[in-house]
Structure 1
């Protein structure tokens, strides 16, 4: 069985939508009639929910082991955190903000203050009450002077708040921009009117009473960030047992504030994609979710299974090949400090980067590896996003002849006759290529990229792949000899703002791209009151995408369609953009 997931994106961030979704007190969107086709990715009603049972869900790589929301780094950890922790608000299927830990909210007249009114009956897993102090504590921890040095990368959630600079510099004892008005009311104050205020106040909350005596620099290794039985959230399930690298067991939270979950437990199993089909068919697995989902090569087989429902749509994420434009000198504790950046001379020439773009057969990846189920990108806005505009960018169709022409004109010559080009100074040019395991399609692109580049005379040293956690740890440290690396990125479904990865001072700027015009355009796209006009923002992002496609700090490869699979005995699921783990307290299994 196959169902489509239609995203209602047009005008999603117009001022009218923002006011309707938030200013009106955060009313819940009407639910889909359960007797109609599930165009929004909701499962049809299947009788009365039954209590009990264990749901087995698959993921293709093991989580790195960080279960503190403010420090986690990979999507596999997120699968656990989606069930254990919650935020003030969340998104529905139409990308509208809806209540979660907060029951309603309001802006002041000039959109510089956002006040949330919290649900008063929420308890943490250990029985303590959730209050506004927990919200203040969470955001203050992210603003802590030691946060980035400890590996935190989410400063975009706090750096727009009043008093951030003073607090992170150690000049203030409190973060003025987040305040507990009373036990169940919290106010965020922004330095300027904010178009993304809801987005940046939608981060998962951690418990103050657990971490208040722990220095922020020590939080990542604390038992409450790592160990089953010690991780404390407000969510419908508790992390109770870990068999490292194999399975992660979550037991239901009997006192969950939205009602006791139907399931006894959820078990995330780390399975190889090669055995996923058999386990779906024999019902060892009830769900294959994100990241990755059902590989495109297997989608037709899964669709044919009578005991499985397949839901398909384009992802908000994309795969890319990053160019390491700068490296870090030694162990750089603050990734945003450009004084520690050392230019990677191999990749400074934009002609080389553009030649690489023409040399890589990206459409071949879509046609051959994704079975046509994807889209080639020339800027980091997937087709599902309202910021996507293919007319705004340079097109880099597969054209090795054009790549050779650019390299010849730029002065990259084969000086010694070995079949490979030297750099502009006549020295050997070897581009190191690193990539992670866990995504079979991405793994299969690496040797093709090597072959494509060597066909135009560029020598590539393709290194053995690492597990995803180890790969991204080295990406972050940046004190290596890396040149090219493969990775994926997901746009926020709340807003397509790419500042988190492409602003020069963003911790996730793994490319170490430093471009003043890019930074200026990214700021302009958030400039109020202009940014409340969707057409204004679309035009700014067109300009930014055009610059990106000329400068090519990275080569976007493709945005793949996402296939997620559910056993027909599994009910209550909802597929939202980039999220199949929502409302897990409503999941149930036919016994």
Structure 2
């Protein structure tokens, strides 16, 4: 199975976003076809004859929150499971080109408002039921349904461009026009206008209609088929069969996998502290460590010295950030589960963008990379992956470390130290303290929090550094919009399918945790995908350049750095062919040289 990273998945999250899509993230003039490349990816004589059987063990530094349903999961640790169990109509290769997966071919209509997929005809769900076009319709209809967001769903960017979405989502009609099954193996996606990102939008992992059809959307996040090992059903090469919650998660081969029976019998995930990964790789207790965090840069030399371990290092499809809670939702909107920017309450403590800019100048990001990443990463100045041509590394404000500039901006904004205690008061002369929040699990993030506190206090900003919170609780607090948060640390795994940042930074995006509400930003992001001009990649790149300049000026978050991915695996594991965004590629062809 070729995996693809599709929605943002991933806090470092997600949102696998890993996308396994992973989350799980194009268009063409007419027809785009591809052939199944299993034959070319089969084990070669160079690595010896492939052996059936065996178990490999992988490491996660944080336990999955426990939602194993593609339309509702929110963190990259859940995506680690879903990457092996669920699949999409299309996937991607090392050049980020779209390839067939559950769909064997597709064709656009003349005006690019429709794309019709012909599905593979031999795919079965893990319980033996046939995969059909109705499953595709059901998946997208569920995401488009009234009550999806209120139930905790955050993937609406995949359906918002579909024909009739607003009327169906608002309840004006119970007919869903956007995705239509022509027959059991043919499904058409219909868009309200020519769509530049049609294949991206059609790349969401599919869930089984026969499992969820009788479960109301509001109850789906709590269903057994969402939460329980043994009940989670996908089409992927491995089945999620057992778990000891918070400790161990077991996947077993899907013998009837449509691309052929996997070589491995089992993949076992263990939740382990990052500090013990080196020792476990050395002893063979672990066979691999990869998404979402890999191993720590500080451990690179130790791991590279291990004769039994192969290292994969490449730029990460994502970044770490310090977000600003620019606005807060009202308690009423939080309770109702709705996102209404017109109701948001400004956070007065950081409402002046000069304050946010001063904070950016006060943080020595290069210093963080040297101290924490041992140089294995880079400062980036926009929330777009550097692998895309749309990334502009020059025009946006670079915010190079400058303590004097930070102090100057704070002075101009009226934040000065009036009582000579070393910390600044607000323009009204009142005590000014910013809270800084961060989760447990990611060692780099945990180590960076007190360093950032020290940097900000050096320019007179008093920081209330909160105690770290277990990640599932942390993400829940972010989603529910705690009104006493000012600064927060987070990481995003980005989509590999398209640079469109609206899923994270649109004013109505569920993942826009800082509640940034900038009309010009929304207009630019819409313009970047507006046909017909947006079919020209150079045009899109220019619009995204303008957007990145705006982002860095208004600064809803400080992008701290993009670290390199550092993955490692035991050399007994064969046929590992990593992609730019994931190590989990054609995992049904993985095998071990000794059981």
Shorter chain as denominator, the TM-score bin is over 0.9
Number of positions where the alignment pairs a residue of Structure 1 with one of Structure 2: 567
Structure 1 distance, partners of 2:267, 2:304, is: 24
Structure-1 residue corresponding to 2:158: 157
Shift of 1:43: 10
Bigger mean CA deviation after superposition, 579-588 or 43-52: 43-52
Aligned positions of 1:113-512 closer than 5 A:
113-330=114-331, 331-512=334-515
Deviation of the 1:520 alpha carbon: 0.6
Q: Look up the SS of the partner of 1:216 in the other structure.
A: coil
Bigger shift: residues 145-154 or 378-387: 378-387
Unaligned stretches of 5+ in structure 1?
1-16, 35-41
After TM superposition, give the deviation of residue 508 of structure 1 in Å. Answer: 1.2
Cα deviation, residue 46, structure 1:
0.8
Q: 1:582 offset after TM fit, Å?
A: 2.2
Aligned-partner Cα distance in 1 for 2:336–2:538: 40
Matches within 5 A, 1:1-150: 18-19=27-28, 23-27=31-35, 45-150=46-151
Asked whether the equivalents of residues 56 and 284 of structure 1 are also in contact (C-alpha less than 8 Å), the reply is yes
Query: TM-score, normalised to structure 2's length?
Result: 0.93
Secondary structure of 2:28's counterpart equals helix
Q: C-alpha deviations, 1:61-116, integer Å up to 9, x for none?
A: 00000000000000000010011111111111110111111111111111110110
1:84/1:29 CA distance change after superposition, 3 Å? closer
SS of the counterpart of 1:136? helix
Task: Go from structure 1 to structure 2 and tell me whether the alpha carbon gap of 1:541 and 1:183 turns closer, same or farther (over 3 Å shift).
Answer: same
The CA deviation at 1:271 is 1.0
Please, what is the CA RMSD of the aligned residues?
1.7
Q: Distance in 2 between matches of 1:286 and 1:468?
A: 25
Shift of residue 59, structure 1, vs aligned partner? 1.1
Distance 1:257 1:501, change over 3 A: same
Deviation at 1:33, TM superposition (A): 8.9
Shift of 1:29: 7.1
Q: What secondary structure is seen at the aligned counterpart in 1 of 2:167?
A: helix
**Which of 572, 583, 588 does residue 585 from structure 1 map onto?**
588
* Match of residue 521 from structure 2: 518
Counterpart for residue 565 of structure 1? 568
CA contact (8 A) 2:38 2:259 kept: no
Moved more, 506-515 or 338-347: 338-347
Is the Cα–Cα contact under 8 Å of residues 329 and 479 in structure 1 kept in the other structure? no
- SS at 2:581 equivalent: coil
Query: What stretches of structure 2 of length at least 5 have no aligned partner?
Result: 1-25
Query: Where does structure 1 differ by over 6 angstroms across 4 or more consecutive aligned residues?
Result: 29-34
> C-alpha distance in 2, partners of 1:523/1:319?
25
**TM-score for the superposition, normalised by structure 1:** 0.93
Is the CA contact (8 Å cut-off) linking 2:28 and 2:108 kept in structure 1?
Answer: no
Deviation, 1:44, is 9.3
Deviations 1:262-295 (A, max 9, x none): 1111001111111100111111111111111121
Q: Conserved in 2, the CA contact under 8 Å of 1:106 and 1:115?
A: yes
Farther-moved stretch of structure 1 (487-496 vs 178-187): 487-496
Cα drift, residue 399 of structure 1 = 0.9
Say which SS state the counterpart of residue 390 (structure 1) adopts: coil
Deviation at 1:340, TM superposition (A): 3.7
- 2:193 counterpart SS class: coil
User: What is the SS of the residue equivalent to 2:33?
Assistant: coil
Whether the 8 Å CA contact 1:219–1:225 is kept in 2: the answer is yes
